[in-house]
Structure 1
Amino acid sequence: MDVAVWAAVRRRPVRFLVSGWPWRVWALLLSGAVQGVLALLMLVVGLVLGVALSVLGVGLVVLAGTAVVGVPVGVVERWRLRLVEPVRLADPHRTVARQWLRTRLRERATWRELGYVAVQSTVFAAVGLAFAALLGCSLLLLAAPVFIWAVQPDTVMLIPGRPVSGPLDGLAASALGLLGLVVAGYSGALVAGAQVRLARLLLTVRDEDLGAQVVELTRSRARLADAFEAERRRIERDLHDGAQQQLVALGMTLGLAELELRGQDGPAAELVARARGEARLALDQLRTLVRGIHPQVLTDHGLPAAVAELALRHPVPVLVELDLPRRLPGPVESAAYFTVTEALTNAAKHSDADEIAVHGLLDGDTLVLSVTDNGRGGADPATGAGLQGLADRVAILRGRLTVTSPTGGPTRLRLEVPCSGS
């Protein structure tokens, strides 16, 4: 990518001098000189204090703080460079809520920024100070006629030993000052462009930073999947060992009460019998709910057996062909099972299909599973929360869920999810 200030010089060299570019370049260099001096002072003080206090153990903390000096300087630099570069440099750091210092010290971008500070506080700061001197001298020479007019001419000597006679004698000095401004404009543009190039190299996102972020996102996605699975098992366990057992105990207690009231007249026996029936219904609904969260057959026997059980209970004939030579990871099996469940439910409710086929196999280390029905088609995945939730769940596993359903059918749902973990 070209540098904007260099491109401005190449396009119209003469117009560059009378535009706002030289002022922006000089503002960048002069402000950089001030910032560079301050940054150099911070680095020197931090290093001296860190080394001096290292015997007390505090020096390591001071040195660590000195190492991250480049982070705030980088923020300021990315803002300052907008004077000569309209394309904003991206922040290479990732957002962290805690352990800020530890995270920054482990990022490569922090050390690149520290290197930039070392160059900017020495080389570019020195160049900025030189530009300050050049601009000051050039402006003084440019204003020489006015200066001569304002004071006694015989007290001014542009050349040692030779007093001037009037303001016209200062025109040569003005020409020299104007030449100095021209030199400062072009050379300043050259230095500013070089600083932009260095900033692009050290202060913005690089490929290795993106790679590190992708690795971290992959790990966080794996942790999210594990947390989801752990929470699912906790809910299942609580329902099975808590509410389900309490309903069983309630049903037994109501059964004993019904036996005690047998043969007695009055509404109590009828109410107990009704309560026992409602408790049995609630227990059946709870078992169905637990099975819907995660069926036990899936845990014990794997995906083929669980899908076969689904097919047996389904009102539409389902052909199941699953060629899986081994057990799959738990999150993959769970995602595949509920994908099949959602597809079969939608086919029974909306498609008017009379035949459904479930095919699945391992393609290398990727599970490829499809559910096809011969219904009327026209299904829109965006209108149902079920398929959208499944797509989000599959995305966590780095998988893909696609639905094709032309009008008139058939409807095909295809799942692809890697089985290699994170």
Structure 2
Amino acid sequence: MNRLIDKLAILTICMMSLFMSDSFSEPVIVTIVTIAFSAATQLLTGRLAAYVLIMGCSLLCGAFPLFFCAVPLMLYDALWEKKWWLIMPAVTVLLKFDSLKFGQIMITAAATAVTIIVYNRISGLEKTVEKLTQLRDEVAGKNRQLSEQNMRLAQAQDNEIHLATLKERNRIAREIHDNVGHMLTRSLLQSGALIVINKDEQLREPLESLRSTLDSAMTSIRESVHDLHDDSIDLRKVIEDSISAVDGRFTVNLDCDVSGNMAGNVKLCMIGVVKEGLSNAVKHSNGDRIIIVIREHPGFYQLMLEDNGNCSEIKEGGIGLKNMTDRAAALGGRITFTPSPEGFRIFMSVPK
């Protein structure tokens, strides 16, 4: 839009020079032709056709000297094309320079100076706008990177808090087991010994009640400790630790997508099967890649562990495979082992 306004202003100055001519039709024709050439040049900017149009309009100055009055507009287009020398053919007007009036020459010279000043101002303004736009894009990119980094830091902090919480739960469970559990066990043994050596029938019933109370407390403590321990198991973290032991031999891809409310016994089953599968891969596979996928579905969990080693058969009755089968069966699940020349796959499903 700025370029169009500038061209209208330059054209207005050029028309002042054109209509100083004695003829009425020639200035109109030159104005129309110049406007058409200038519009076509702007439409074809950056192409060879635009250069040809500017140079062709300049050449007309030699045949029709009045076109010299439109040189400022041609110069403006040539400057935008970064090829100011395209208007050099306009010097052919010198062959018929005497056909122009002094006023026309002076106005054209003034319009040429105005054209150069306007171009420098507008081009400088556009460069400034371009720099500001680039700066804005860079700032937006930096802000986006900063936002992503803050998100990663927040996620890392959440993971640290989660791991710290799990460690604290594990410590509490261990403290309860080591201290309160042992004390209750000793109390149960002492109450049992008192019942055996007691000769007073009146004390038998209170002693039996005391033993029953201690036994219930022991059961409650044991369940609480197991719940705390199960909650303190981070399935992904434990599996990643197991993977780190085989990273030197295999490239392992882990895809674990489960919620945080998975039962502890299911976590232990998954961990046991993954560890056993990784151990078997290290011992028997000649591949270099392992894929582990753990998925949660509405009614069951799935585990798939696959390596790319060449295995066409398996040994029936192997201790490792039997242990994995027993783990799945204990939870009512199913597990299959599929050997093939492309690799060995373990697939397990466990109902919720």
TM-score tier (shorter): 0.3 to 0.5
Q: Which has the higher contact order (CA 8 A, sep 6+)?
A: 1
Rg: which structure is higher?
2
